[in-house]
Amino acid sequence: MAERTGLEPATSNVTGWRSNQLSYRSIPFGWAGRYGEGAARAISFLAESHFLWKLCPHGDFLAFPRLRWLLVSIVIFGEMELWFDPLARSGPEAMAMDEWLLEQVTHPVLRIYRWDGAWGSLGYFGKLSEAEKGLRGVDFVRRWTGGGTVDHRGDWTYSLIVPRDREVARMKGGESYRAIHHILLEVLRAEGGAPDLSVEKGKSGGMCFENPVENDLMDAGGAKLAGAAQRRGKLGLLHQGSVATGGDSRLRGELFAERLAESWWEADLVVDEDRVAALVEMKYGSKEWLARR
């Protein structure tokens, strides 16, 4: 298990900067083990602050050491499981696995997974005919979440499954999207990249990585680097994300978990294969689901 006590500031190796160079210690915003909802509200408040957006019009709060310290110190969850799904899965199985997790989790789970074969996914509201024109040479699966069409040949894919009693699951979509992507931005910068948050006001849909929307991650050349789609319901929040560059999957997953949660551990889940198979048959693997639009 990897764990931070919350008594010391979180550490970042972004551009050689370490938060503990500052003379003051971590504020309670970072104590998500005790104040998980307060931490979530704090990061939401910081992200929404008109003063901060005026100071940092491109959302690059991390360029300012003291603001960077606040955001790096804040975590969204008190505790969380990190699951490296051991099996490469077909598109329908991959989507069914996320729904099964949402049905049964009692605390947040970060799932990192791989695809078995050449797959593209389209959003719940996407048109299959448009996806097939925009992306060739793949099989398609329709997601339960919204957003555009994603080519999963070579990307790094994750899902964040959050029970409904967590503050993040009760945030507005834009707030939770921005909070999660702020943390992913820090992870990708720690890898040596130079991503920034998009300020585009575009509409989701079409080819996902050709159509950046607000709070997507962009690389130094202005190309979209990471996007995601969400679904909220009575069970909680499902956040499905994709990063265009693969990288070291295990290291990236661990860095992401460390910044998302005050305390996390790597899970070894026992999958209800019967339920997953039923979801594939009834929903994600059916022609009716795929061609619904």
Is 176 a domain residue? yes
Q: So what's the pLDDT on residue 103? A: 97
State how far the Cα of 112 lies from the Cα of 241, in Å rounded to an integer.
10
**Structural domain contains residue 177:** yes
Number of folded domains that form the chain: 1
State which residues form the domain around 256. Answer: 79-290
Residue 266 lies in a domain: yes
For the segment 62-109, what is each residue's pLDDT rounded down to a tens digit? 455 445 444 444 678 999 999 999 999 999 999 999 999 999 999 999
Handedness of CA 52, 54, 58, 64 (dihedral sign): negative
CA distance linking residue 290 with residue 287, whole number of Å = 5
CATH number at residue 189: 3.30.930.10
pLDDT at 257: 97
Q: What pLDDT score was predicted for residue 203?
A: 65
Residues of the chain with pLDDT under 70: 1-74, 201-205
pLDDT for the residue numbered 137: 96
Spell out the long-range contacts of 284-288 with Cβ–Cβ below 8 A and sequence spacing 24 or more: 284/91, 284/92, 284/93, 284/95, 284/96, 284/141, 284/142, 285/90, 285/92, 285/96
User: Mind giving me the DSSP string for 4-39?
Assistant: --SSS-----GGG--GGGSSSPPPGGG-HHHHHHHH
Q: For residue 35, is it within any domain?
A: no
Residue 19 lies in a domain: no
Q: Which amino acid, residue 104? A: Q
Rounded Cα gap, residues 157 and 199, in angstroms: 23
56 is catalytic: no
Q: Cite the DSSP H helix spans in 167-284.
A: 167-170, 173-190, 249-260, 273-279
**Which one of 76, 95, 208, 244 is the catalytic residue?**
208
The burial of 283, by beta-carbon neighbours within 10 Å (0-12 exposed, 13-18 middle, 19 or more buried), is given as middle
- pLDDT of 89: 97
Whether 215 is covered by a domain: the verdict is yes
Q: For residue 237, tell me if it sits in a domain.
A: yes
Asked if residue 234 is part of any domain, the answer here is yes
